[in-house]
Structure 1
Amino acid sequence: MKHRFMDIAACPMCKHFPLELYVIETKEYPEREEQIKRLLEKYKPPLCEIYCYKLQTPIGKKIEELQKEGVTPPCDECLKIEVVTGVIYCPNCGRWYPIIDEIPRMLPDNLRKKNEDLKFLKKYAEKLPEKITREGKPWNLSEEGA
């Protein structure tokens, strides 16, 4: 998953935006360098339309202010890095969504598999905040007595 996904991701349950990203593992693909370079030549940064995850700011006035200060949005960094494993978290309703093998699994509660989600949480509990592992919805490790 690219960081840029955070520009469009909203919580499937409560529709809140923006969401929080907790990265556990990333990967870079050097063979994509040339493609990224062409993309950045063709489209002027910022590539995101609403929210820049890397700068943690909405696109618009704040980005314009930063550009006046000589700060360029780090679009090349976002495009080079894939999030392999992580969690997308909704600060509004407390739901968390795993990222597994570069794919964000943003499903509504009724389509999620509790056993798989809890297995994921147990595996990465040390790398995630308690608001996810102990308080997260639709389930968490405190319910399991873990």
Structure 2
Amino acid sequence: MKRSMLDILQCPIDRHYPLELFEIEVAGDGEIREGVLACAKCGRYYPIMEEIPVMLPDELRNKERDVGFLQRWQAKIPEKILRQGNPWHL
């Protein structure tokens, strides 16, 4: 994901802007390979997987994939997202 996308992305649930970015893996060209976008208003998080922000409404999200992402990167994801993030947390 390009950092410049932060200028246009908003939470699909409550339309909050801007979203917080937590970088996990960054490519040599500055693209964010893995990370998390977080909404400070509703507490939802949106994983960035293989450079793609996955910003789906709750009913379309894959719980196994999201929880697996949190488990895989828990050492690099803020505790607040891990323990209180919506729609699922550890």
Match of 1:12 in 2: 12
| Alignment gaps of 5+ in structure 2 | none
Normalising by structure 1, we get a TM-score of: 0.61
1:24-59 Cα deviation digits (max 9, x unpaired): 001024xxxxxxxxxxxxxxxxxxxxxxxxxxxxxx
User: Larger helix proportion, structure 1 or 2?
Assistant: 1
Question: Larger relative CO (CA 8 A, sep 6+): 1 or 2?
Answer: 1
Cα distance between partner residues in 1 of 2:36 and 2:11:
12
Instruction: Please report the TM-score for the alignment, with normalisation by the length of structure 2.
Output: 0.97
Letter in 1 for 2:88: W
Larger-gyration structure (1/2): 1
Equivalent residue for 1:37? none
Letter in 2 for 1:82: E
Name the structure 1 match of 2:25. 25
Post-superposition CA distance 1:125-145 (Å, at most 9, x none): 11011111000000100xxxx
Number of the residue aligned with 2:2: 2
Out of 43, 46, 59, the position equivalent to 1:94 is 43
Is there any run of 5+ residues in structure 1 with no aligned partner, and where? 30-80, 142-146
Aligned length: 90
Corresponding position: 1:125 with 2:62: no
In percent, how many aligned pairs have the same letter?
A: 51
